[in-house]
């Protein structure tokens, strides 16, 4: 592996992966400690994406360890975690998009504050199962006959189309592209409904203050998801392109994928912290405290209704 000791790229991937990992872990810890005043499925959906980037970051760190040590077990672990991390991140974005689009749409007030654990499990378990299955398959005999030196991307056991088991790579990329395109489509449609006010318009003679806050938070959440989806579309295109375009440029393909993925972990960790800061505007340390902003907004809404009724009565007299 002629480019094993490419110090600048090794340093970039390692530093970005470590910083992204630490920052994401801090964000996960903060989400777990705080009780945000918003639908819990939003928080758990983004936590799923956080954990996907944790797996990806660890895989990238192990891939650098392999380049420095040449250990085959480390290479296999790195390949598994990178593939699983990519699947988990993209499927997590799909899960969040579906939740915002059809389950807890911020433009619909019915049951918006209820948390149905079974709904979350029904969505998250199949996603984890598919991600785990497609990540493990390259480690089975289907992908065991290639050494790390013959792979398009070092340690990532996705083969060329003309090799045995090459169909597995097509399945992997097919599932990834389908997932990310559906996620992007659901986010765009629900964002248009919120920003343009189609069928999700708040139907009330007076402004529902609490739901207005949910709509604002929902818009911000969708902006974050759309930014991350855009970055992932670019990264997945690079991953797909270098894997099948020129298998002879092992070092170039490997470093393009590793650098782009490591930068993605940094980008996500920043977005995750921004989400924490956004939701912290209406959060506290306990469930009882979380309900207080809701009560205050409800009282404000009642005051506005009372003032409106007084004005109507005054006009009638």
Q: Encode pLDDT of 291-316 as tens digits.
A: 445 555 555 555 555 555 555 555 55
Quick one: pLDDT at residue 296?
54
Q: What is the DSSP string of 25-75?
A: HHHHHHHHH-EESS-HHHHHHHHHHHHHHHHHHHHHHHHHHHHHH--HHHH
Quick one: pLDDT at residue 308?
57
Q: Which of 19-23, 124-128, 149-153, 267-271 has the lowest average pLDDT?
A: 149-153
Identify which of 124, 133, 125 has the alpha carbon closest to the alpha carbon of residue 171.
Answer: 133
Which pLDDT band, with edges at 50, 70 and 90, does 286 fall under? very low
Question: pTM of the full predicted structure?
Answer: 0.80
User: What does each C-alpha distance from 255 to 71, 77, 151, 163 come to in angstroms?
Assistant: 18, 18, 13, 23
Q: In the chain, where do the E strands start and end?
A: 35-36, 283-284
Average pLDDT over residues 176-200: 80
DSSP state of 142: G
Instruction: Give the chain's largest Cα–Cα span.
Output: 90
Q: Taking 50 as the threshold, does the pLDDT of residue 125 lie above it?
A: yes
Quick one: pLDDT at residue 249?
54
Residue 81 CA, chain-centre distance (Å), reads 16
Q: Taking 60 as the threshold, does the pLDDT of residue 148 lie above it?
A: no
Which pLDDT band, with edges at 50, 70 and 90, does 199 fall under? very low
* Cα–Cα distance, 70 to 80 (Å, whole number): 16
Which pLDDT band, with edges at 50, 70 and 90, does 49 fall under? very high
């Amino acid at each position: 592996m002629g480019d094993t000791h490419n110090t600048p790229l090794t340093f970039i991937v390692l530093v970005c992966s470590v910083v992204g990992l630490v920052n994401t872990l801090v964000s996960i810890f903060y989400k777990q400690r705080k009780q945000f005043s918003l639908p819990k499925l939003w928080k758990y959906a983004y936590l799923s994406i956080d954990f996907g980037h944790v797996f990806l970051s660890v895989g990238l760190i192990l891939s650098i360890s392999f380049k420095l040590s040449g250990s085959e077990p480390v290479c296999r672990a790195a390949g598994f975690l990178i593939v699983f991390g990519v699947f988990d991140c993209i499927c997590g974005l799909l899960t969040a998009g579906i939740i915002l689009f059809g389950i807890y749409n911020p433009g619909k007030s019915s049951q918006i504050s209820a948390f149905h654990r079974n709904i979350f499990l029904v969505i998250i378990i199949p996603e984890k199962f598919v991600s785990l299955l497609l990540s493990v398959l390259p480690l089975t005999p289907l992908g065991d006959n290639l050494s790390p030196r013959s792979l398009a991307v070092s340690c990532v056991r996705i083969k060329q189309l003309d090799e045995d088991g090459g169909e597995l790579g097509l399945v992997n990329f097919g599932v990834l592209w389908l997932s990310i395109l559906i996620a992007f489509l659901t986010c765009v449609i629900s964002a248009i409904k919120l920003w343009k006010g189609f069928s999700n318009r708040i139907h009330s003679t007076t402004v529902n203050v609490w739901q207005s806050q949910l709509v604002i938070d929902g818009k911000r959440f969708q902006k974050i998801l759309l930014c991350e989806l855009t970055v992932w579309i670019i990264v997945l295109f690079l991953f797909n392109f270098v894997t099948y375009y020129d298998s002879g440029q092992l070092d170039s393909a490997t470093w393009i994928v590793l650098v782009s993925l490591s930068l993605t972990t940094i980008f996500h960790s920043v977005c995750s912290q921004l989400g924490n800061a956004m939701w912290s505007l209406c959060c506290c340390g306990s469930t009882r405290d979380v309900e207080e902003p809701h009560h205050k907004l409800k009282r404000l809404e009642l005051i506005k209704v009372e003032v409106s009724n007084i004005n109507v009565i005054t006009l009638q007299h």
